[in-house]
Amino acid sequence: MTDITYIIVEHDGGWAYKVGDVFSETFRTHDAALHAAQRAAGEQRVAGEETGISYEDERGQWREELSAGDDRPTTHVVDGKK
């Protein structure tokens, strides 16, 4: 199972959450960024419907798979300020 961590950080004159190397939008307050990260983390855990997906792999080959919709990641929110 995939594990996703949202980290609250200072960013661009305000606060944001970061997943890997990607930043969210900038929020004026730490609390606003924290609440947005908690909301995003919660949405990641919600199961979806079975659906087909297409993607290009690292070799440039297109792949098609069936996603069951119930393989959801484990999510965490970490306060980078502490």
Task: Copy the structure tokens of residue 21.
Answer: 């190397």
What are the domain boundaries of the chain? 3-79
Cα separation, 40 vs 19, whole angstroms: 11
Residue pLDDT tens, the chain, 82 long:
689 999 999 999 999 999 999 999 999 999 999 999 999 999 988 888 888 889 999 999 999 998 887 778 889 999 987 6
Cα separation, 77 vs 68, whole angstroms: 25
Cα separation, 15 vs 27, whole angstroms: 5
Task: Copy the structure tokens of residue 11.
Answer: 């960013």
Pick the closest to residue 42 from 75, 10, 67, 79 (CA basis). Answer: 75
Q: Give this prediction's pTM.
A: 0.73
